Amino acid sequence: MRLFVDTSALYAVLDADDARHKQAKCAWLALLEREAQMICTGYILVETVALVQRRLGMEAARVLLRDVVPLLRVEWVSEVSHEAGVAAFLAAGDRGLSLVDCVSFETMRRLGLDTAFAFDRHFEEQGFRCVPEK
């Protein structure tokens, strides 16, 4: 199984106080057990590290970078993918939709991925299946 991993899921896995932590941790462990290929972008890494550092502190950021990131395949965003994400972001005009989201959708489509480990409703709105399912 190949799937995209979003900041919303990574953060929920790491934050024991997150409302979705238990659900996220169970899904994460199941994906590891299945040896799923978990893919994210460099943009997701930057977004997640910044969020974890700000909310949970440097030790949590270290755990993310040392223990979690090595389990992910990182797709580095090309200029073409970035520009496609910018175009989608500007066309959407939705304050709740981020540039990182739009680049993620572009990356998923380019890689032929239809599933995301995510709690962000925008993935479903874009036609992707989310794990864990609601």
Confidence of residue 45 (pLDDT cuts 50, 70, 90): very high
Q: Which two tokens stand for residue 129?
A: 């299946």
Q: Strand locations in the chain, DSSP E?
A: 2-5, 37-41, 72-75, 115-117, 129-131
User: Rounded to an integer, what distance in angstroms lies between the CA atom of residue 65 and that of residue 68?
Assistant: 6
Threshold 0.85, pTM exceeds: yes
R_g of the chain computed on alpha carbons: 14
Domains of the chain by range and CATH? 2-76+113-131 (3.40.50.1010)
Q: Which two tokens stand for residue 61?
A: 């950021």
Which one-letter DSSP state was computed for residue 27?
H
pLDDT in tens, 76-126: 999 999 999 999 999 998 888 999 999 999 999 999 999 999 999 999 999
Q: Which two tokens stand for residue 2?
A: 């190949």
